[in-house]
Amino acid sequence: MSNIVIVGTQWGDEGKGKIVDLLAEYADIVVRFQGGNNAGHTMVVNGKQFIFHLIPSGILQKKTCIIGNGVVVDPEVLLEELDRLDEKGIHVGPDELQISEKAHVVMPYHKAIDHAREKKKGDKKIGTTGRGIGPSYEDKATRRGIRFIDLIDPDVFREKVNANLEEKNFYLKNYLSSETLNPEKIIEQYNKIAKRLESHITNISVVINRAIKEGKKILFEGAQGTHLDIDHGTYPYVTSSNTIAGNACCGAGIGPKEITGVLGVAKAYTTRVGLGPFPTELFDEIGDSIQKKGSEFGATTGRKRRCGWLDTVLLKNAVYLNGLTGLVITKLDILDGLESIKICTGYEYKGEALNDFPASLKVLAECKPIYETLPGWPEDITNIREMEDLPQNTKNYLNRISEMTETSIHIVSVGPARDETIVLKNPFL
């Protein structure tokens, strides 16, 4: 039995898409279990770049892909992704993509509220992706959400849209000073969408549990990152779902004993898109050069990603929050040519070392990173495929990460393409 969860260890965009695409070759089913199209997962295959926001990153390996009940799905975006794949000659039918009947639908009013709220908040905004993710999870928690099973029942759908809009339109108009939405227009548009997606909608927990019983291998694809987790992240500068590995069980409807391994993906440095604390953020030319060399722009919103040194306080947190069985280090090539590289080994708060990541943003704002400096390497490592061929200083950097986090490194990524990878331990073999 081999069922593996892939999660981000930092603030998202660690390169999860590339790693899921790579490992999907050895899996039978790939499942997204949380988040929505706030995610942007990139893979480069045969020189072509693909970015998926909702479709699991196993689709190019022609594996059964599943969107779990824990995901909030904007059906318009999903259809666009399906159409784009179709144009490229990749037909995704109900055998290739299944959507949980219990997954919640991101509605036009969720997007409108997300935008209007951020605008109203001004400087105090979160810096969301504006995709309606927060308002959608909010409705799920307050039991006003619309699930895919409701979307495909025209009477239930109509009733729910009308009931929701009564309240949302009042809120949009009177509190957010924003445009109201017309229920009939939404109902008409979504009835058409429902017809197109109907054949993909199913009870995915039954499908996944049956596959596990048959000995099939499942890869669970996380979105966002550990420090964007609604409970464990830098609240309130977080997303609205649990991003950590435990949520693979809730978001797909399986028991925890089925998970056999959890890989945490970490960039060789740190990035963050959107607002919120970032202790190792760089405001100098090194930060700028990492941003440029790493093409650090959000795959969803195109915003510049903030860049900084690797923070092992974050990684150590990620190790226990997710129960990591291994680490994947990505974008190591971006550090090529730096004279020296810093690693944050802890935080200093009011002259004392902090042992744990603080929950208080006030405390975090006053934390100073404690750095260790390691020599860099002048070589271009993009073409290296074996660990022993890496420059000694690169190996020293990796060893130090492994030592600090007490976790072994299973995969090292040295370029965006599928094959620009050093695999030390494949979790499926």
Structure tokens at 87: 């144009």
Burial class (CB in 10 A: 0-12, 13-18, 19+), 330: buried
Do 239 and 104 meet the contact criterion of CB atoms below 8 Å apart? no
Among 106, 228, 254, 328, which residue sits at the site for ligand IMO (rule: CB under 6 A)?
228
In angstroms, what is the minimal distance from the CB of 239 to ligand IMO?
Answer: 3
Q: Which of residues 410-429 bind ligand GDP (CB under 6 A)?
A: 413-416
Site mask for ligand IMO (CB under 6 A), range 36-75, x = bound: --xxxx----------------------------------
In angstroms, what is the minimal distance from the CB of 171 to ligand GDP?
Answer: 31
Can you say how many angstroms the Cα of residue 376 is from the centroid of all Cα atoms in its chain?
29
Q: Does 42 bind ligand GDP (CB under 6 A)?
A: yes
Burial class (CB in 10 A: 0-12, 13-18, 19+), 95: exposed
The interface partner of residue 334, options being Mg ion, ligand IMO, ligand GDP, none and the CB cut-off 5 to 8 Å by kind, is: ligand GDP
Choose one: 12-20, 122-130, 358-366, 389-397; the region binding ligand GDP (CB under 6 A): 12-20
Nearer to ligand IMO, 130 or 358 (CB): 130
Cis preceding-peptide flag for 236 (omega within 30 of 0): yes
Nearer to ligand IMO, 211 or 223 (CB): 223
Note if 13 is an active site residue.
yes
Structure tokens at 425: 């331990």
- Nearest CA to 185 out of 217, 223, 220, 158 is that of 158
Note if 41 is an active site residue.
yes
Q: What is d(CA 3, CA 262) in angstroms, rounded to the nearest whole number?
A: 9
- Nearest CA to 19 out of 246, 265, 314 is that of 265
Q: Does 10 bind ligand IMO (CB under 6 A)?
A: no
In angstroms, what is the minimal distance from the CB of 8 to ligand IMO?
Answer: 5
Q: Among residues 21, 28, 41, 333, which one is catalytic?
A: 41
Q: Does 3 bind ligand GDP (CB under 6 A)?
A: no
Nearer to ligand GDP, 41 or 147 (CB): 41
Beta strands in 258-319 (DSSP E): 261-267, 270-272, 306-308, 310-311
Q: Does 239 bind ligand IMO (CB under 6 A)?
A: yes
**What one-letter code names the amino acid at 423?**
V
Q: Is 91 helix (H, G, I), strand (E, B) or coil?
A: coil
**What one-letter code names the amino acid at 193?**
I
Site mask for Mg ion (CB under 5 A), range 33-62, x = bound: -------x----------------------
Q: Does 21 bind ligand GDP (CB under 6 A)?
A: no
The interface partner of residue 239, options being ligand IMO, ligand GDP, Mg ion, none and the CB cut-off 5 to 8 Å by kind, is: ligand IMO
Long-range contacts, 165-171 (Cβ 8 Å, 24+): 165/109, 168/109, 168/112, 168/113, 169/109, 171/113
Structure tokens at 307: 């860049």
- Point out the residues that are catalytic: 13, 41
* Site of interaction with ligand IMO (CB under 6 A): 8, 11-13, 38-41, 126-129, 131, 133-134, 223-225, 228, 239-240, 273-274, 299
* Site of interaction with Mg ion (CB under 5 A): 13, 40, 299
* Site of interaction with ligand GDP (CB under 6 A): 8, 12-18, 39-42, 44, 299, 330-331, 333-334, 413-416
